[in-house]
Structure 1
């Protein structure tokens, strides 16, 4: 079978068949009387073997080794190909993620694209100080880029810089942050809540409200305290829960004092109702009553002056005397 017919039937071009012959990969078994290449059945089989191995990703050198070396281990080649493929897919996924992050920033021209690429390069640095410098550069307004970075940042200083930059970016990245409040990783949810607390505007309030029932104490406390900072009186029961549970209880007591106002008596009533039998809880509640202040709080503290727990009694006496 001549080269033209082989090319037609196999789908391998005549040019590639000549190349295979030149490098000794597939050598025709004979020549016609006129000097034309003649491929026999074994040659055709070898061509299909070559093409099959190339389809797996082997180089022509590796194909020749696989076909001619009896000690060649195909399993090792396949494992190596799988590893190389995974690396290539990883690089392509990283490129795709970067392209999406650039697109999410909404660049209006090529200069902004280059600025965002520079920011991403800085945020992808292995050096925390490099990531922090990128976050504080102030040259790029890219809220969604910053939001996605803050969700994965482990260094506390860099995370703080990213939240600061995000709050000043002018972009509303609430949707990006809120979407991660359902993440399986509690640490990611904590980062999202911290960023939402520092995000200006009303759009983040609804997201914080949705995080109040979170099962993680860190997420829940950050959301409740963030809402209290914005004057949300509806979180008073949750603030009292934090005090009773001993989770950010000092911050919760201070938050109650800030939002008390006309609700002071109701807040004091809520605290007194949770006194219970645990002395540690009563101490925390006594301290919270001292923060809230007002006549009702003083009356409640006087009721704790004779508490059977010395720690509770001492705290109550000091606070009453201080008033």
Structure 2
């Protein structure tokens, strides 16, 4: 078969076939009477072998080695190809996200595109102060796009920069919750926590729905942050987690304060007090746990707290008894009276 026929049937151009011959990858084993290249069946098979290996991402040099070196084993090379391909896909994914971000700003000209790209580069800076400055003082008064803010807040580890990003997200308006919600479902617990922290400062039914889902998160840090946010919004659904945070000592002071605010509602007070009293009376409760629970009672409305604290004045744990007695004395005395006129 002549080179033109091979090119038509194989889909490999005649120019590429000549290149393969120059490299020694595929040499036609026959010649016609007139001296033209003639490809035989084994040559055609080798062409398809070359094309198959190229389709896996091998360079022509690697293809030649694979076909000629009897000691060549594919396992290591295939492993390298997998890693290279994964790296390339990650770079392509990042590029696609950047392009979507630029597109979302609806630039009117190339200067707008260049300003957004500069902003993205500043947000990617290894310097936390430079990233924070990019959020708080965008160059040339270019507003930071919502999508870019959301992506940045989900990856930001510096607490100061993260705070600035959350502030900027709230100010940006728009559907920030929708941009952050995928982060709340991420496989990465740190990303989920960052998403919940950001959504916690937002209002509306969409934010409430994401936070309610986060109460069931497998990570205690995410559940706790969602419970603090939901409790601060007056949701009784957060009570079990908030009580658990007091018991476990996870942001227990903050959790107790939120429980105290919730307990101002008479409908929520009884369940909260029952939960705290139940944990205090639980068999085998550690002294440190019982002490945190007693201290949490100081945040509750006085009448409800006193009903639980008074019996504890005679508790077998001296530290618990002394703390309970001190709190009873404070709560019984009521708020200090205003000084009279001189």
Instruction: Provide the secondary structure at the position in 2 that maps to 1:306.
Output: coil
What are the within-5 Å matches in structure 2 for residues 143-158 of structure 1? 143-158=146-161
In the alignment, which residue of structure 1 is the partner of 2:46?
A: 49
Task: Tell me if structure 2 keeps the 8 A contact 1:305–1:316.
Answer: yes
> Within the alignment, does 1:39 sit opposite 2:42 as a pair?
no
Which residue number in structure 2 is paired with residue 283 of structure 1? Answer: 291
Name the structure 2 match of 1:246.
Answer: 249
Contact 1:153 1:159 in 2 (8 A): yes
Cα shift readout 1:173-216 (whole Å, capped 9, x = no counterpart): 32343334344443332222212112344421121112223333
CA distance in 2: counterparts of 1:99 and 1:31, whole angstroms: 52
SS at match of 2:173: coil
Q: Is the 8 A contact 1:115 1:140 kept in 2?
A: no
Other-structure match for 1:313: 321
Equivalent of 2:305, from 293, 297, 300? Answer: 297
Q: How does 1:113-152 map to 2 (within 5 A)?
A: 113-138=113-138, 139-152=142-155
CA shift in 2, pair 1:156/1:312, >3 Å: same
| Distance (Å, rounded) in 2 between the aligned partners of 1:12 and 1:296 | 85
Instruction: Write the distance in 2 (CA, Å) between the matches of 1:283 and 1:321.
Output: 17
Cα separation, 2, equivalents of 1:18 and 1:211: 62
In 2: Cα distance, 1:101 partner to 1:179 partner: 17
TM-score by length of 2: 0.73
CA distance in 1, matches of 2:322, 2:313: 7
Q: How does 1:140-289 map to 2 (within 5 A)?
A: 140-263=143-266, 266=270, 267-277=272-282, 278=285, 279-289=287-297
Q: Deviations over 1:67-124 (max 9, x none)?
A: 7xx6575436x85476356424532442234323542672222555444433433444
d(CA) in 1 for partners of 2:238, 2:10: 74
Alignment partners' CA distance in 1, 2:15 and 2:164: 59
TM-score, length-scaled by structure 1 = 0.77
Asked if the contact 2:214–2:226 (Cα under 8 Å) also holds between the matched residues in 1, the reply is yes
Q: CA deviation at 1:133?
A: 4.2
Any conservation in 1 of the 2:135–2:144 contact (CA below 8 Å)? no
Mapped partners of 1:164, 1:304: distance in 2: 44
Where does the alignment leave 5 or more consecutive residues of structure 1 unmatched? none
**Distance in 2 between the 1:66 and 1:205 partners?**
58
Offset, 1:171? 3.2
Distance 1:224 1:274 in 2: 19
For the aligned residue pairs, the C-alpha RMSD in angstroms reads: 3.7
Cα distance 1:50–1:65, how it changes in 2: closer, same or farther (>3 A)? farther
1:312 offset after TM fit, Å? 0.9
